[in-house]
């Protein structure tokens, strides 16, 4: 089979690039531990917000807590069309882990100026962590269309 020289260069170049990309993915996954957000836990969306059943059923002002010096966790329940709690306060320099789930439809959760960006599915808890060194306000926003009130669905993280 006759393959033109230019075509041969492009074929070999493409194979080399795919090999480099595969290697980059393997290195970032194995050596640096970079993972795509995976479901943390399976839950029943109908009972997840029942008081006493899970941290998502705790009073809204008790869903953000310090678990160790400088380490916080926040349990955020998404529902049409609000995040509860919709305001989270932590001191600057803290590491914050969000646990997010939905009790009704599919929502999204993106925190501005971070790499936090997950889909929120009823029945699954997603766990994402970031460190907030810069004081300021960070909006977290639903970025999956979830109905007529979708555009009003956001909350604020205040780093002070
Ligand atoms: Cu919730 Cu869009």
Per-residue pLDDT tens listing for the chain (160 residues): 889 999 999 999 999 999 999 999 999 888 887 777 777 888 898 888 888 888 998 998 899 999 999 999 999 999 999 999 999 999 999 999 999 999 999 999 999 999 899 999 999 999 999 999 999 999 999 999 999 999 999 999 999 9
The ligand 1 atom at the shortest distance from the C-alpha of residue 81 is 1
Distance in angstroms (rounded) separating the CA atoms of residues 30 and 4: 39
Distance in angstroms (rounded) separating the CA atoms of residues 106 and 118: 11
The pTM for the full model equals 0.79
Distance in angstroms (rounded) separating the CA atoms of residues 86 and 79: 11
Closest residue (by CA) to atom 1 of ligand 1?
107
Per-residue model confidence as pLDDT tens digits over 68-80? 999 999 999 999 9
DSSP calls for 94-105: EEEEEEEEESSS
Distance in angstroms (rounded) separating the CA atoms of residues 157 and 160: 10
Distance in angstroms (rounded) separating the CA atoms of residues 87 and 66: 15
Verify whether ligand 1 is closer than 6 Å to residue 146 (CB atom): yes
Q: Please report, to the nearest 10 degrees, the dihedral formed by the alpha carbons of residues 100, 68, 115, 143 taken in order.
A: 20
Determine the straight-line distance between the first and last CA of the chain, rounded to whole angstroms.
68
- Whole-number Å distance, alpha carbon 1 to ligand 1 midpoint, is 55
Distance in angstroms (rounded) separating the CA atoms of residues 100 and 68: 20
Distance in angstroms (rounded) separating the CA atoms of residues 2 and 150: 57
Bridge partners, 138 (sequence order): 157
């Amino acid at each position: 089979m006759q393959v033109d020289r230019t075509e041969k260069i492009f074929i070999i170049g493409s194979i080399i690039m795919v090999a480099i990309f595969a290697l980059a993915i393997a290195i970032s996954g194995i050596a640096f531990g970079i993972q795509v957000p995976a479901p943390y836990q399976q839950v029943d969306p109908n009972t997840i917000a029942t008081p006493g059943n899970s941290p998502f059923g705790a009073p809204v002002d008790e869903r953000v807590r310090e678990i160790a010096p400088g380490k916080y966790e926040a349990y955020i329940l998404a529902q049409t069309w609000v995040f509860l709690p919709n305001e989270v306060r932590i001191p600057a320099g803290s590491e914050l882990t969000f646990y997010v789930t939905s009790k009704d439809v599919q929502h999204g959760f993106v925190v501005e100026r971070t790499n936090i960006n997950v889909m929120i599915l009823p029945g699954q808890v997603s766990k994402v962590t970031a460190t907030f060194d810069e004081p300021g306000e960070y909006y977290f926003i639903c970025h999956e269309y979830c109905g007529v009130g979708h555009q009003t669905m956001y909350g604020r993280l205040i780093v002070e």
